[in-house]
Amino acid sequence: MNALEIFYEICKIPHSSGDTGKLKDFICDFAKKYNCNVRCDDAGNIHIIKGNPRICLQAHYDMVLIGDEIKPYVDNGFLKSIDSSLGADNGIAVAAILHFIMIRDDIEALITNDEEIAMIGAKNLALDIKSNKMLNLDSENINEICIGCAGGFDAKISLKPHFKTSHFKYFYEIQTKNFIGGHSGIDIHKNIKNAIVELVYFIYDLECEIVDIIGGEKTNSIPVGAKAIIATNEIINDCLNDSFIISKIDETYMQTARKDFLYPIFALHSGVYAISEKNVISSLNISKISTSNLEIMARANRKDLLHMQQKRLQNMFDEIEISDFYDPWEAEDSAFLEELKNIFYKNGLDYDIIEIHAGLECGILKSKCDEIVSIGPTIYNPHSKLESLDLDSFDKFLLVLDSLI
């Protein structure tokens, strides 16, 4: 199998965050087949080593699945999936690692688990690596070499609906439709509509109270789906439009809550908070909602901005829980960076040295090695049904790895 064929095999195996056991077994069995020493820890991280490597390749093997299953297909030079996210973030890097395990005698890899849910694997890593240089393969532009990333945290705000006995005539379900979603870090500047925000704003224009509300998929994704059940004395025509499906419900609900418990949606701006030299360096994403809680993710590329986000939220809300806090990986030069720049140059690849407004495991894993840098093939719209992999960039990515290992 070549690297792309390996990725097709990965696509067949369920590996959403929190449900990665089958892919873990596939990776371990594959590596053992090619005479690698394989170790795993309790967090599901996988360490693979063969021979005497000088660089450790690092990727994660969980994915954000938007949709039901991956059905990959090629469209004009891009790999996509029918009505789902593709999982090239970061399955294509895992495929590349397994490809080089097949053809190289000296290789080391650290493949972490549950990166997409607050980097659980990296935070609980109980494995050591041999190499003093680590190359993270989770960046998403072949013409960029990443030397810094955002830190972040999750926040859960307690909502306080006051349910009371009510006697409304009509009940409707309002469900969002045609929201595309996206990555809550690298896509936050694109003004992609947030399904939760749009639903709440729509409801506020109606004379109604709330029976139930739920929405969002992952804390690090711009929400695609949200729905609410409302109670009203007004007739709302059942309708289908570009953003909402409104359906009358025959069931009667006796308990409803006024809309004012949704105040945090109006108090918080879901989007960009600070920019430096055209790069986003601070943001917030409203990620998930239920009638009892609102979940958000804050990011920043500077420690002071991240701590400012935390303090601001704690001052705004009495009942808020901060979790999964991690500091940013702040940019720095290194000899490994210079080596990688030379390889890009020799292979005719243009590049920019960048830091990204997304979480990479580099900030956590840098304690495991002396030098760390991140690269990757070009992936558009990760964490969404529009996700696509530029296949030409993947060939170039393999060429860089071939020159480096």
Q: What is the pLDDT of residue 216?
A: 97
pLDDT tens per residue across span 79-123:
999 999 999 999 999 999 999 999 999 999 999 999 998 899 999
Strands in 388-390's sheet, in edge-to-edge order, are 72-75, 78-81, 388-390, 379-380
Q: What is the pLDDT of residue 369?
A: 92
* Predicted confidence (pLDDT) at residue 238 exceeds the cutoff of 80: no
Per-residue pLDDT at 35: 97
- Work out the pLDDT band at 237, boundaries 50, 70, 90: confident
- The phi and psi torsions of 209 (rounded to 5 degrees) equal -125, 170
- CA–CA gap between residue 328 and residue 380 (Å, rounded): 23
Please state the rounded mean pLDDT for residues 159-177: 96
Provide the angle, in degrees to the nearest 10, between the axes of the packed helices 391-404 and 3-11. Answer: 120
CB neighbour list of residue 270: distance below 8 Å, 6 or more residues apart: 194, 197, 284, 285, 286, 296
**Cross-strand pairs, 299:** 152, 283
Are the C-beta atoms of 88 and 143 separated by less than 8 Å?
A: no
Mean pLDDT of the region 327-348: 94
Residues shown for the chain: 405
| Token reading at 354 | 């960048």
Q: Which domains does the chain have, with CATH numbers?
A: 3-150+328-404 (3.40.630.10), 154-326 (no CATH)
Q: What is the pLDDT of residues 30-79, one digit of tens each?
A: 999 999 999 999 999 999 999 999 999 999 999 999 999 999 999 999 99
Q: Whole-prediction pTM value?
A: 0.76
pLDDT for residue 266: 92
Match 């693979």 to its residue by tokens. Answer: 48
Q: Give the model's pLDDT for residue 327.
A: 87
- Contact assessment for residue 290 and residue 83, using Cβ atoms and an 8 Å cutoff: no
Q: Parallel, antiparallel, or unpaired for β 293-300 and 56-60?
A: unpaired
pLDDT for the residue 326: 87
Residue 27 in this model has a pLDDT that exceeds 90: yes
Q: pLDDT band for position 218 (50/70/90)?
A: confident
Q: Is the pLDDT reported for residue 259 higher than 80? A: yes
Pairwise CA distance, residues 206 & 121, whole Å? 44
What is the per-residue pLDDT for 241?
80
Whether the pLDDT of residue 334 is over 90: the answer is yes
Say what the pLDDT of residue 220 is.
Answer: 86
> What are 308's two structure tokens?
């400012």
Token code pair at residue 207: 């004379």
Residue 132 has pLDDT above 80, yes or no: yes
In our burial notation (b when 16+ CB lie closer than 10 A, e otherwise), range 214-232 reads ebbbbbbbbbbbbbbbbbb
Q: State the amino acid at position 87 in one-letter form.
A: G
pLDDT category, 204, cuts 50, 70, 90? very high
Band (pLDDT 50/70/90 cuts) for residue 174 is very high
Q: How many helices (H) and strands (E) does the chain have?
A: 10, 26
pLDDT at position 239 over 90: no
Look up residue 203 and give its two tokens. 């409801």
User: Do residues 113 and 62 make contact, with C-beta atoms less than 8 angstroms apart?
Assistant: yes
Residue 383, pLDDT above cutoff 90:
no
Q: What is the mean pLDDT of the chain?
A: 95
